[in-house]
Amino acid sequence: MSGNNPFDNAMAQLKKAAAYLPQTKELKQKLEILKEPQRIINVTIPVKMDDGIVRIFQGYRVQHNDARGPYKGGIRFHPQVSMDEVKALAFWMAMKCAVADLPLGGGKGGVIVNPKELSAGELERLSRGYARAIADCIGPDKDVPAPDVNTTGQIMGWMVDELIKIRGVKNKRDKEKLSSTFTGKLIKDGGSEGREEATGLGGLFVLQTVLTKLGKKGKLTAAVQGFGNVGFNVAKFLDEVGFKVIAVSDSKGAIFVPGGINPKLTLECKRKNGYLAGCYCSGSVCDLTKGKQISNEALLELDVDVLVPAALESVITKENATRIKAKVILEMANGPTTPEADTILYKRGISVIPDILANSGGVTVSCFEWEQNLKGQHWTKDQVNKKLKEKMQKETNAVWETSKKLKTDLRTSAFVVATNRILKAMK
Ligand code: GLU
């Protein structure tokens, strides 16, 4: 049974894929091990607020599996963070790194906080406090965190700086090596070219590969739920390659612009106003007559070719799956579709490109960043994007071929590919 508990949903996905694996006793035992996180770290982070009062924040780091390499995965700052959510996200990271064939395992972190209510100073103290709290459990060959929902390159920079202080590292080259503990850093702190847009660009490469297989061509329409780093960049890349993006949203609501939004202008307008409503930017102007406000739920049910959930988990459920009109769903969020919804969508002939493949571009370039820091290199944006494109196309093809061979959906196939790789690496 599964509902909207993300960890239960993740386990239901694994169970479905497990039926396609060789049923030997040894593999079954390894599969049992893969179901549980190897380590769960529970931390409290005291932070001195601007008014002088100390507030205690609750944080987690879940280290799911390191059979293929160090634990890898972002840190989320969100009021709805919970242990079950972080456990699911850590498990999905293990699967994601395996499906992208990276020498990394899976982990995830989270802090229960609404960062929008913090001042810049409070955010910095919380970030440094979290890094201190998990410092013993992370490192370039142990666990390598990164940004996730509401965390940025700047936050990674504070965390690296804190770790450098804790370890007392002075030498420049040693600092650079230690900085590989966190990826998604700003370029000035040792970040990789292309990392900021990597999740969005990787998603575009995966989508283009699948659309070619499906024989879908011409001017396609898209709706994107979410307008954070991932949602914005996906919308930007889709627009650049000729899609008409007719709707985007943030946590406060969605906008519907039938003429197709201009993502960059929309972002500028949102930054200026603080919200998306009224930012009906199409072509080179923002004009109140060009669009209207709709709900986040309505966005998901728009009649578009491609629907892109790029916000949080469990937004496509058994309640709304029957009303989805898109032909292809590109999962840029982690866990946006529940298992019941998956079954409904599959029966309705809607192709769901699963999160662990669709959004693996981000961690792929994180892996490049880690490699560059460890080797003391800095690759050009062209080099990064070329390697990203090759990887996304190769792994999308592998998942596609598996789905044809097993006659099943893309998520189950991605899970089969990933699980096989992890089980092979397990001792
Ligand atoms: N938070 C991103 C994800 O869910 C990136 C993780 C990483 O770069 O390690 O894939």
Is 121 a domain residue?
yes
Determine whether 347 is an active site residue: no
Looking at the fold, whether 101 and 67 belong to one and the same domain comes out as yes
Is 32 in contact with 104 (CB distance < 8 Å)? no
| Count: domains in the chain | 2
Dump pLDDT digits (tens) for 282-325.
999 999 999 999 999 999 999 999 999 999 999 999 999 999 99
Looking at the fold, whether 258 and 178 belong to one and the same domain comes out as no
Indicate which atom in ligand 1 lies nearest the CA of residue 73. 9
Q: Which residue minimizes the CA distance to atom 10 of ligand 1?
A: 363
Q: What contacts 175, CB < 8 A, 6 or more positions away?
A: 164, 169
Q: Which of 192, 222, 256 is the last residue in one of the domains?
A: 192
Looking at the fold, whether 181 and 222 belong to one and the same domain comes out as no
C-alpha–C-alpha distance, residues 217 and 24, integer Å: 43
Q: Is 336 exposed, middle or buried (0-12, 13-18, 19+ CB in 10 A)?
A: buried
Distance 259 CA to ligand 1 centre (A): 33
pLDDT of residue 4: 77
Q: Which of 358, 390, 420 is the last residue in one of the domains?
A: 358
pLDDT of residue 71: 98
How many helices (DSSP H) and strands (DSSP E) are in the chain? Answer: 15, 14
The mean pLDDT of 91-105, rounded to a whole number, is: 98
pLDDT of residue 3: 59
Looking at the fold, whether 218 and 326 belong to one and the same domain comes out as yes
Looking at the fold, whether 45 and 105 belong to one and the same domain comes out as yes
Looking at the fold, whether 180 and 230 belong to one and the same domain comes out as no
Known binding residue 360? Answer is: no
**Per-residue pLDDT at 2 exceeds 60:** no
Is 282 a domain residue?
yes
Q: What contacts 14, CB < 8 A, 6 or more positions away?
A: 31, 34, 35, 91, 415, 419
From the list 16, 87, 108, 236, the catalytic residue is 108
First to last CA, the chain: 31
pLDDT of residue 1: 40
Looking at the fold, whether 73 and 217 belong to one and the same domain comes out as no
In the chain, the amino acid numbered 316 is I
Indicate which atom in ligand 1 lies nearest the CA of residue 148. 1
User: Any idea what the CATH number is for the domain that residue 282 is in?
Assistant: 3.40.50.720
Looking at the fold, whether 247 and 342 belong to one and the same domain comes out as yes
Distance 343 CA to ligand 1 centre (A): 26
Looking at the fold, whether 234 and 296 belong to one and the same domain comes out as yes
Considering all CA atoms of the chain, what is the largest pairwise distance in Å, rounded to the nearest integer? 64
Is 20 a domain residue?
no
Among 3-7, 372-376, 396-400, which stretch is predicted with the lowest mean pLDDT?
Answer: 3-7
Range of the domain at 63: 37-192
Is 272 a domain residue?
yes
Residues with CB under 6 A from ligand 1: 72-74, 96, 146, 148, 183-184, 334, 359, 362-363, 366
Looking at the fold, whether 230 and 178 belong to one and the same domain comes out as no
Distance 95 CA to ligand 1 centre (A): 12
C-alpha–C-alpha distance, residues 41 and 190, integer Å: 27
Where are the strands (E) in 87-230, listed by range? 106-112, 143-147, 221-225
Dump pLDDT digits (tens) for 129-154.
999 999 999 999 999 999 999 999 99
Q: Ligand 1 pocket check: which of 199, 233, 313, 384 to mutate, most ligand atoms within 8 Å of Cβ? A: 199
Is 208 a domain residue?
yes
Indicate which atom in ligand 1 lies nearest the CA of residue 334. 4
**Per-residue pLDDT at 334 exceeds 50:** yes
- Percent of the chain at pLDDT > 90 equals 98
Tell me the three state secondary structure of residue 93.
helix
Dump pLDDT digits (tens) for 168-225.
999 999 999 999 999 999 999 999 999 999 999 999 999 999 999 999 999 999 999 9
Distance 74 CA to ligand 1 centre (A): 5
Indicate which atom in ligand 1 lies nearest the CA of residue 74. 1
On average, the pLDDT of the chain sits at: 97
Looking at the fold, whether 130 and 206 belong to one and the same domain comes out as no
User: Any idea what the CATH number is for the domain that residue 135 is in?
Assistant: 3.40.50.10860
Measured in residues, the chain has a length of: 427
C-alpha–C-alpha distance, residues 120 and 76, integer Å: 17
87 pLDDT band, cuts 50/70/90, is very high
Distance 62 CA to ligand 1 centre (A): 14
427 pLDDT band, cuts 50/70/90, is confident
pLDDT of residue 307: 98
Dump pLDDT digits (tens) for 42-82.
999 999 999 999 999 999 999 999 999 999 999 999 999 99
Q: Which of 136, 166, 192 is the last residue in one of the domains?
A: 192
Known binding residue 199? Answer is: yes
Burial track 19-50 (b if 16+ CB lie within 10 A, e otherwise):
ebbeeeeebeebbeebeebbeebebebebeee
pLDDT of residue 117: 97
Is 389 a domain residue?
no
Q: Ligand 1 pocket check: which of 63, 78, 93, 104 to mutate, most ligand atoms within 8 Å of Cβ? A: 93
Burial track 191-201 (b if 16+ CB lie within 10 A, e otherwise):
bbbbbbbbbbb
Looking at the fold, whether 249 and 184 belong to one and the same domain comes out as no
**Per-residue pLDDT at 402 exceeds 70:** yes
Is 167 a domain residue?
yes
Is 7 a domain residue?
no
Which of 23, 74, 99, 30 is closest to 418 using CA atoms?
99
